[in-house]
Chain A
């Protein structure tokens, strides 16, 4: 069965060009970039190129790029660096809809002596910058706010937020793991102090990521060890993967127009057709300010895991914010923070596309999904009532 992979916010396929670039560094060119001999030295040269490519994608200088092992490590490094460098400040500002990499760390710090402000979002998943400005204080060590939300794709006004936060002298970090490669980002224009990006969301392999640290930002290493990464992150470099990440960043830069045109078109087509063909369906999140590849659609009165498993029978891969898919008993914290009613939160499905999709694939989803929803609604004890409610309106 052909797999239609529409879950690219979870992870992506490694681009063939990326894999090709990486392969020699597993067996032929396996040297350690820290070595004095030229066998290792030539690898160091490749790392330098990768650092430049990663920097180029976001407008950063190469020495502002720090390679890490995953998005979570980048986020943890940024937040812990800020609080360790400002030991007298005991306040952190973030949002209620962050990825667990930031959310759970902040909750942990909250239990360990920090005051944390979790900013709310509105029904469309939007942040009110006023709330942020009011929370800033002399005690604030760091503000960490995601660039775009992984579940809904909603983009926060990072330019405006970053300016206000950094003007008030507070460190600003953004988890841009979902935004990088999907929308243009330029840290020369937007004054973020630190920015996390992850390889496997942009067609590099899993296990490699980066943290941008603006020159002059106070920093403390998270992994203490050797002199690698200019002493900012100990541990022998994940050479092949870093080279892959460099190539992926280069490709992402080339694909960003297509992402915002063709991928956006496919996403909009999928979304609009679903709303047209399936009654009691709705889109979660601000449709105006959204990543071009992401849609979160709620199908009322059916449950997300059941939808996913039925789609699985057709080879369609997506994800859900329902309780059952996570193993927890409550639907996603993002949808709850937005106040999405339970009827809809349990039946939410996220599609996240990539440049590798064909229109035929999207058409296949459009054909196959509505009957799945209908089938599950026929099983649902609530469906008749709501149909009647809709008819009586």
Chain B
């Protein structure tokens, strides 16, 4: 390809990290075993067969469609998996990832994924074995901090709340807990059903590291627009101005 995508503007750490997330060039920080990821997602027991909504595509036979011929089905689609989901809640207090950027990551880097973006949660839906794959990638990468991000299928309240004393994001259903060893343990699946065993997710980032890896602009981190009385616009603002102005003028079409 002659063209290299730019993904996102800005020369601060926030801009750089946003480009990392969007491009998928994120650092791997941990290795959560696949079976554990599956257990946390809660859609099937680890090791169990996948449920299907239709027979494998090869058995079914597909209509004669040029698009289908050009596009390789994902593993999940080929097998006929049901669509399942992973949903994340990211704290506004310097979680590495933020909802739209999880969605961008999914849309750009993950085939066959349907991202949904809200403020208190972000969801990706895909064929079951595909979403397991994508979830593990997210879990292992710097997109996720185990104290400030959590998988929550319901009762998501917490992104806009102050942190707990131990630095964890508040969770009404207590799906994760901080162990005495300083590691964060997943004790329930994403909808709050207790797991058979606790899963060690590892140590959370320090405050300094979270601030370094975050993609959120904040006045006590990297502000997007400087401060009151001392405005300094990040390129993200200039980009937004440019886009908004063009959109507004295009509708007018003075010519």
Task: Tell me if chain B binds chain A.
Answer: no
